[in-house]
Structure 1
Amino acid sequence: MARQLTTLPIDCLYEISEYLEKDIPTIHSCLLANHLLCEIFVRILWRDINNIVDIIYHTSKSSSVRLSFFNTLIACLPNESKEHLYKNEIFIPTTSLKSPFFNYAAFCKVLSIPGIKSIVYDSLKILSIQYSLHVPLNYLIINEIVKMFVNQSSLKVFTYYNQVNNFNNLSFPCFPGMRNLSKLYCDSNLPSDFCHQLSQTCHNIQSISILFNDNNNASNELKKLIFLQNNLKSLTLRVCNYTGWVNIIPTLAKHSNIMNILTKLHLYCNSDYVDIPFSFIELFKNLQEVIFSFFSSDFRPYINVKDFEKLQYVNFPKLQILKIPYQCPKPEYLRKFLEINGKNLNKLYISEGISKPILKSDLNNDLNLSIANFCLNLNKLIIRINDDEIDMLKSIFISCQYLKFIKILCEAKCMSETILEIVANYSPKDFCELTLYNSKLDFIHPKNLESFFISWKNRKSVKLLTLIMISNEAIDEYYEVYNNEYYKNIVYDIINNCKHEKNDEDYENYEYIDYKNYEDCCDFIYHQNMEIIEKYENLGIIRFKSKVVYIKEEEIEFE
């Protein structure tokens, strides 16, 4: 591939390189091809330290590859840093004495101190250096590497979680290269001197994410850092206890500029703390995106956050995106909130909804009815549909005529066929993507799957449909006995149809199937359906994807 790239204009090469950020084998071959490709792709490799950690240090089994990157970091250190390490009797053998070809640190836009720590600890372990477990000496190395990066003007994103990684031994005298920082990810335990130095340099951070640790409020220096920002558009607050963000609210309330400019507010909290304040959100009238994440390890149908009672009546005239990835607030509060704010929403994610088996009521159906009544301009929607609420999907499709994407958390796998039928008959003309969570291809009768594709093909406005099915292994194991019975019924029906239609050839191929074997039935239906899918993919009617997850959190990410 590298040889083919050399024939393209340089503008095309830069454009292509943007799509290969995580394709390390291709990047590596381009680095070795010639000087031009090397100069282009080395910038992509070094742009984000997190990518290097994820790809090289978490997935690569080659210690030489991991060590070569560490050696390059050490070689790039300024002489002052190398002398400082030498004076502290830190001697790191490197594979080459040559000077680096590039100032690699100048290419870095995304820096993570935990990422640098992973690189240093992993490399010293490979080298079997005796002080690899000597924390102060390790932090001297980390400190010098981080100092090298923060002196570069290219830095845009910085991550510093101190409580989790205990970086109290780090010291940063100044941040000349962080003047253009646009994103900061940190916790409330940041050293005061760090916050003070950063507040002297950075006044145009656009996005700040703060993790509030147990019994640890934001320091005065951190609050000052927030207060001094002139262009803060996005704020994320994550709390582990009741006090959490309480003492940061006055700082936000005093800053009229933040109240007017802030457009994204993401709030994450443990649902055990129902008294945590939320009504302060009404200060930010220009919010365009809000996340309310109430996570509970128990099986509550919803979370009764008391402050949401006040928030339900607040109008946010510019709100376009509302995401509630886990439990909902009290249903009547959320319904009122949607009644007031639903008309402006174009994306709504209420992915957990209200679980019917846990609470025998129509609360989830009423919530979906509110979506159909008040959220008429949606183009993306994630909801829960319980097994006796499936007709509500028709109402949503009929009301939300701009809908292009929907992801449905199915209470039961057997709902998939009915959902497909409703999508074919009621989805809006521009609808083009359906994702079914807790669904499997082998839980759909091949006859019904093909019927859906034929219906889609015959629509007046035919758009390529992306169909995504996501199954959860934990749920599958729990319901294995029921699933097996369901599979057997489908297989039995297919074979009976062959007999009835006197299709002897197919019957001979199918009669070997063991009805009592769970895997046999599953594989049989799966392969039948895959043949149908390949047929309609080749016709340009659909695009199919399937995915298996083991815990729901992995699939709750949006977009």
Structure 2
Amino acid sequence: MSKVPKTLIKLDIDKLKLSLKKCIVGFEKLQYVIFSQLQVLKIRNAFPSNGIPIKFLENNGKNLKEIYICCNDKSFNLLNLAISKFCPMLRKLSTRIKNNELETLKIIFNSCKYLESIKIWCGGSFLSEKQALETVVKYSQNINELVLYHLYITQFILLPKELESFFINWSNRVPQKSLSLVIIVYLYEENTSLDKNDENIEIINKYIKLGVIKKFKVTDDYRYSI
């Protein structure tokens, strides 16, 4: 394959999906390409290094409406910050944020004002449910769907009073929007996600009846897409 020169090339493609490491090699060349119609970006199972995805977002982020990233990388926080900087029109985001990088999630909500749906990893070294819920209700502007993805065992159990507080604060938001709440529990039967507490389920049913919750779903399908 001939090398792509370090000049910008324009292509009309509205979706780009990359998976497995062999595809990521080609991504190094794509960083110099402008996809003028690109709206959906998906990266699974591998991660381009050396700041390549950041350069790609700088060239192509302004029209992106959906970003789905599922991979491990130490520089993930830099990518999240790049998303907040270069993707102002984003509607849907699936990403991971560590529990010591909570400020990054606040920055994303402040910069991506049109964001409607977000999938957040919980447990392990990632955010707790409490951190995720409190940040969403306080800093998001247009969110109407929240997906909490439990790949790891939850470290901090969400108390019923904390869940109730979240829904009270959500119902007081202006303008009012009903929320779709999805819990994904994967691999661990002993997972202690919020749906494992009967009192939490009672609270959820209460706010479904009040119209605060539009949809509530618990699934073990890690492929669930926002």
Q: Under TM normalisation by the shorter chain, which class is it?
A: 0.7 to 0.9
Q: Does 1:384 align with 2:51?
A: no
Structure 2 residue aligned with 1:394: 106
Q: Does 1:329 align with 2:1?
A: no
- Range that drifts further, 452-461 or 387-396: 387-396
Q: Does 1:538 align with 2:205?
A: no
Partner deviation per Cα, 1:256-295 (whole Å, 9 max, x = no partner): xxxxxxxxxxxxxxxxxxxxx8969x98711111101126
1:475-494 equivalences in 2 (<5 Å): none
Structure 1 residue aligned with 2:144: 432
1:429-508 equivalences in 2 (<5 Å): 430-438=142-150, 443-474=157-188
Structure 2 residue aligned with 1:504: none
Matched residue type, 1:556: R
TM-score (ref. length: structure 1): 0.36
- Would you identify which runs of 4 or more consecutive aligned residues in structure 1 move more than 6 Å? 439-442
1:365 alignment partner, SS class: helix
Partner deviation per Cα, 1:408-434 (whole Å, 9 max, x = no partner): 123537611111001101111x31000
Contact 1:410/1:437 (8 A) holds in 2: yes
Query: How much does 1:348 deviate?
Result: 0.8
Structure 2 residue aligned with 1:291: 17
1:251-330 equivalences in 2 (<5 Å): 285-294=11-20, 305-330=24-49
Structure 2 residue aligned with 1:558: 225
Partner deviation per Cα, 1:211-231 (whole Å, 9 max, x = no partner): xxxxxxxxxxxxxxxxxxxxx
> How many Å separate the matches in 2 of 1:370 and 1:331?
14
> How many Å separate the matches in 1 of 2:83 and 2:3?
23
Contact 1:319/1:341 (8 A) holds in 2: yes
Matched residue type, 1:425: K
Matched residue type, 1:531: E
Contact 1:385/1:411 (8 A) holds in 2: no
> How many Å separate the matches in 2 of 1:341 and 1:448?
39
> How many Å separate the matches in 2 of 1:325 and 1:547?
20
1:190-201 equivalences in 2 (<5 Å): none
Matched residue type, 1:316: F
Structure 1 residue aligned with 2:85: 373
**Measured at CA, do residues 325 and 304 of structure 1 come closer, stay the same or move farther in structure 2, by a change above 3 Å?**
closer
Matched residue type, 1:544: F
C-alpha RMSD of the superposition: 3.0
Matched residue type, 1:539: L
1:34-433 equivalences in 2 (<5 Å): 285-294=11-20, 305-354=24-73, 361=74, 363-412=75-124, 415-428=128-141, 430-433=142-145
**Measured at CA, do residues 279 and 324 of structure 1 come closer, stay the same or move farther in structure 2, by a change above 3 Å?**
farther
State which structure, 1 or 2, has the greater radius of gyration over its C-alpha atoms: 1
Contact 1:331/1:367 (8 A) holds in 2: no
Matched residue type, 1:472: Y
**Measured at CA, do residues 279 and 535 of structure 1 come closer, stay the same or move farther in structure 2, by a change above 3 Å?**
farther
> How many Å separate the matches in 1 of 2:128 and 2:216?
18
> How many Å separate the matches in 2 of 1:462 and 1:447?
22
**Measured at CA, do residues 533 and 279 of structure 1 come closer, stay the same or move farther in structure 2, by a change above 3 Å?**
farther
Structure with more contact order per residue of length (Cα contacts < 8 Å, sep ≥ 6)? 2
Contact 2:150/2:186 (8 A) holds in 1: yes
Partner deviation per Cα, 1:78-110 (whole Å, 9 max, x = no partner): xxxxxxxxxxxxxxxxxxxxxxxxxxxxxxxxx
Contact 1:278/1:308 (8 A) holds in 2: no
**Measured at CA, do residues 526 and 411 of structure 1 come closer, stay the same or move farther in structure 2, by a change above 3 Å?**
closer
Aligned residues: 220
Matched residue type, 1:530: I
Matched residue type, 1:383: T
Structure 2 unaligned spans of 5+? none
Partner deviation per Cα, 1:327-350 (whole Å, 9 max, x = no partner): 221150001000110001011111
Partner deviation per Cα, 1:54-86 (whole Å, 9 max, x = no partner): xxxxxxxxxxxxxxxxxxxxxxxxxxxxxxxxx
Structure 1 unaligned spans of 5+? 1-245, 247-276, 296-302, 355-360, 488-521, 549-553
> How many Å separate the matches in 1 of 2:67 and 2:3?
19
TM-score (ref. length: structure 2): 0.85
